[in-house]
Each structure stands twice: as C-alpha cells, then as structure tokens.
Amino acid sequence: MVPPSKKNTIDFDAARLQRMGYSESRPVALLPVTLSELHRQLTLQLQTSLEVERILEVFFREVQRLVPLDAMTFSHPRSELSLQFGARGTHSASYNLNQAGEYMGELVFRRNQRFDDFELGQVESLLSCLVFPLRNALLYRCALQNALHDPLTGTGNRFAMNQSLAREVDMAHRHSQPLCVLMLDLDHFKLINDGYGHGVGDDVLRAVSVALKNQLRNIDMIFRFGGEEFMVLLSNTALEAASLVGERLRSTIETLQYLSQGQAIRMSVSLGCALLRPFESAESLTRRADDALYAAKREGRNRMMLAG
C-alpha cells in the first residue's frame, strides 16, 4: 500500500523570516554542501533564467545535493504547466506554493524512501530561494501567452500564427517533411450575431474553439485568423491524414449545440486544406488553403475542399 502523501502549504513571507535566521537551529548534516551554502548558490543560480522549466530543473538538481530525491513535479493550471523531473517514487511530499496570497502552483517531491521531518525542514528552507525567481518566470510566461494568444478564444493570434507558419514552412522544406494547412470558417456567423447578439456570438466562438482544440493533437497548432475564421497547422502531416483531421473537425462542429435562453443554436464550418509544395512560400500556402475554403462555401458550406 502506498503511504499517504504529506500535504503542506508554504507561506514564503514566513519562509523569508526563516532564511533571515528567525527559526529554530538544526544540526549541520554531513552532506556535500551545507544548507547555508546551498542557499547562497541557489539564490544566484535561480536568477539566471526567466524560463519556468529551466528554473525548476536547476532547483531539482541542486536540492538533491542536500536531500536525496527521485522525482519532482510542478503544476500551475493557470499557466497550463505540468512538469516532471526524474522518475516516480512511492513516497511524496506536496507543497502548495503561495506568496502574499498569490497561488504559484503545486510542487511535489517523490522518492522510494520516507521523508523525515529534518529533511522536509531543509527542503522547505530551500523553497524560500525559489519564490521570487519562480514568480518572475510565471509573470514572464503569462506576458508571452497574452502577447501570442487571442483573448476571446484562447487560440494563437495573428502574430503567433505568422511566426509559427514561417517556422513550420522552413522546417518542412529543410527536412523534406509534409506540412498541411486547414483554413476553417464558421458558416452563417453573421446570422448568429444579428439574431442573438454579439455576446452570444462571442460565446459561440469560444465554444467552437474549445471543441476544435479538443480534437487536435498536442503538436497541432490552431490560430484565430480573424473574425470567425481559424487556421490549423498540421506539421509532418500528409494530405490524406490532414483530410481526415478536417473531416473530424467538421463533424465535431456539426454535432455541437450551444443553448441560448433554452434555444439550440446549430453550427457548421467550411474548410479548405492545402499541402505545402516544394519551394512554396508561407503566403502561397495560406492563399491556396483560403481559396479552397471559399470554394467549399460556394459549393454549399459544411464541407471541406482540397486545394489544387
């Protein structure tokens, strides 16, 4: 039977007092470094990066010089972060990280040997070195996310789309890998705005974007191209596979229902799909996918057309 996890809450304001010496003294452990030495080294090392993954990787590596660990996991749902370092263990100690009332995620240490109170005290003391570097990294990540995401749908915005498209086209040419683009437009969206109001229209766009993202792989990328139009980048995906993805997206939206004051709003999408040609530019690829999209609309909507 796996022993229960130890669950704790770290208040970094209190931890700061502990670091300043306002705490009960403990005997010095005969380990590669002392607690105070590791404090100083971590304080310097953790300030050299604004990447959450890099900061936590350094923290995990350095803490093991004092307290043996098999694994460490970190989760911060608001930043869509779920990270794991090392292998899993049967015993764990979990910490909800808070600073000045701000939730900064959950950190879980694991190993196959039970933690004793002295070891946990050392870990908790070292956590005080993590608070400000981690907070700064989370703020930086949030700023990047806001700069690259559409605030309404949570998909990538046009700036992120242009960057990603250029990068994916370059990689596809360089490695001779297939790349497909899906252009997708919500049919008769103006009727929804006119009939139910723009607030309902915004809710419909959010519901559609969530449904689309749920049908895509982690490596697929979706962007709001503008209005009710989206672009999906399918890297290392041939035309036949991209067609299957497009049909799955079309079918998903066709069966999606949004209720407004008890009345169901039925939706459908039209799609255009294009495969990157040798030496083709990102602009040409996008134009061909967009032309295929409008061909699908001319043919009656709620269908997908392949670019010529």
Distance CA 170, CA 173 (A): 5
Tell me, yes or no, whether 285 and 203 share the same domain. Answer: yes
pLDDT digits (tens, 9 = 90+) for 249-295: 999 999 998 888 888 999 999 999 999 999 999 999 999 999 999 99
Q: Tell me, yes or no, whether 210 lies in a domain.
A: yes
In the predicted structure, residue 11 carries a pLDDT above the cut 70: no
Query: Tens digits of per-residue pLDDT, 238-252?
Result: 999 999 999 999 999
> Does residue 75 belong to any structural domain of this protein?
yes
Residues 6+ apart with CB under 8 A from 63: 38, 69, 72, 123, 126
Is the predicted pLDDT of residue 184 greater than 70, yes or no?
yes
Same domain, 166 and 198: yes
Q: What is the pLDDT of residues 51-84, one digit of tens each?
A: 999 999 999 999 999 999 999 999 998 888 999 9
Residues 179 and 299 placed together within one structural domain of the fold? yes
For the chain, the maximum distance between any two Cα atoms, rounded to a whole number of angstroms, is 79
- Domain-located, residue 1: no
- pLDDT bin (cut points 50, 70, 90) of residue 3 is very low
Confidence of residue 145 (pLDDT cuts 50, 70, 90): confident
3-state secondary structure of 164: helix
Closest by CA to 205, choosing from 233, 186, 182, is 186
Give 29 or 85, the one with higher predicted confidence: 85
- Which of residues 108, 127, 148 is at a domain's end? 148
Tell me the H-state helices in 149-196: 158-175, 189-196
Q: Which domain holds residue 187?
A: 158-306
Residues 12 and 123 both lie in one domain: yes
Q: What is the pLDDT of residue 9?
A: 52
User: Active site residue: 228, 229, 240, 283, which one?
Assistant: 228
Q: What is the pLDDT of residue 32?
A: 64
Cα within 13 Å of Cα(227), Cβ side: 12
Domain total of the chain: 2
Question: pLDDT, tens digit, for every residue of 202-221?
Answer: 999 999 999 999 999 989 99
Question: Tokens 């911060």, residue?
Answer: 76
213: number of CA atoms within 13 Å, CB side?
A: 13
pLDDT, mean over the chain: 89
The pLDDT tens digits for 292-304 are 999 999 999 999 9
- CATH number for 260: 3.30.70.270
For residue 75, the one-letter residue type is S
Give 282's contacts (C-beta < 8 A, 6+ positions apart).
162, 165, 166, 169
Query: Packing angle between helix 198-214 and helix 239-255, nearest 10 degrees?
Result: 140
Same domain, 168 and 299: yes
pLDDT at 144 over 80: yes
Q: What is the pLDDT of residue 234?
A: 97
In a domain, 205, yes or no: yes
**CA–CA distances in Å: residue 224 to residues 83, 184, 189, 218:** 27, 10, 15, 17
Regarding whether 139 and 121 lie in a shared domain, the answer is: yes
Q: What gap in Å lies between CA 278 and CA 285, rounded to an integer?
A: 11
Considering the domain boundaries, does residue 153 fall inside one?
A: no
Residues 301 and 163 in one domain: yes
143, amino acid identity: A
80 is catalytic: no
Q: Is the pTM higher than 0.85?
A: no
- Choosing from 129, 148, 167, the residue where a domain stops is 148
DSSP bridge pairs for 52:
none
